[in-house]
A = this chain, B = another copy of it.
Amino acid sequence: MTPADAGKATLDPSPGSVAAQGSSAATDASETHEKPVRPMRADARRNYDKILATARIVFTERGTDSSLDEIAKRAGVGPGTLYRHFPTRAALVDALMQDWTDRVAADADAAIATGQPAREMLLGWFEHFIDHITLHRGAASKICAAMDDPASPMYRKCRVMGDANRRVIEHLDARGELRTGVDPANVMRLVSGVASVADTSHAELDVRPMLEVVVDGIVRA
């Protein structure tokens, strides 16, 4: 669509890798037998990128439930092309998620690096996390659903975010600042739940008070 994105090219989902269309979970068969993974054809890559750039815009404007055909149209490709690259909506959201999973992981480490007391650290981390996953309306609840569904294309990236969270929790736990028996996975669900509520809610509600309750339920009394 706009000439801008053609040039900037939000390329390369992962460094040096070629976009693989089969989101099969078993893809790292790197040792047994290398698939003859040939690089994407030039036009394919061009369309892939155009679709992704357009999706980012449309999802930001109207949320992750926007019409996919419209995204295709605005990207200047046929519906068939969109569905070939992204067989499901989740696959498309997933491709977009790449950006933030990186940032989320970085945020977690940054939070740990601050060395703040548990309460402040958690509050900060949770707020950043929520900011990221509510970037596109509707994304938070999709993440909630994917988190415990290995069949979802987004499952992998949910794990990355889950790992980031686990690092923070375990760090604080090692410092002895948490209650006993805090399960990182549950914390993750809880915080995503808060994100989801905030995202779905018609009112612009502040997540802070809810997060405070969660944090108080986690830190050692």
* A153, chain B: closest CB distance, angstroms: 13
Across the two chains, which residue of chain B brings its CB closest to A215? B217
Q: Specify which of B145, B187, B213 is in contact with A202 (CB 8 Å cutoff).
A: B145
Q: Once the chains are docked, how many angstroms separate the CA of A147 from the CA of B197?
A: 10
> How many copies of the polypeptide does the oligomer hold?
2
A197 to B189, Cβ gap below 8 A?
Answer: yes
Asked if A42 lies at the interface with its beta carbon under 8 angstroms from chain B, I say no
* A103, chain B: closest CB distance, angstroms: 23
Chain A contact patch, size range: 35 or more
Q: Specify which of B141, B192, B209, B221 is in contact with A183 (CB 8 Å cutoff).
A: B209
B213 to A217, Cβ gap below 8 A?
Answer: yes
Q: Give residues 163-221 of A contacting B (CB, 8 Å).
A: 179, 182-183, 186-187, 189-190, 192-194, 196-197, 200-203, 205, 209-210, 212-218, 221
Q: Once the chains are docked, how many angstroms separate the CA of A210 from the CA of B218?
A: 10
A213 to B218, Cβ gap below 8 A?
Answer: yes
Asked if A148 lies at the interface with its beta carbon under 8 angstroms from chain B, I say yes
Tell me whether A141 and B217 are in contact in the complex, defined as CB-CB below 8 angstroms, given that A148-B205, A190-B194, A210-B189 are known contacts.
no
Asked if A99 lies at the interface with its beta carbon under 8 angstroms from chain B, I say no
Within 8 Å CB of A145, what residues of B?
A: 200-202
Q: Once the chains are docked, how many angstroms separate the CA of A179 from the CA of B197?
A: 23
A213 to B190, Cβ gap below 8 A?
Answer: yes
A197 to B144, Cβ gap below 8 A?
Answer: yes
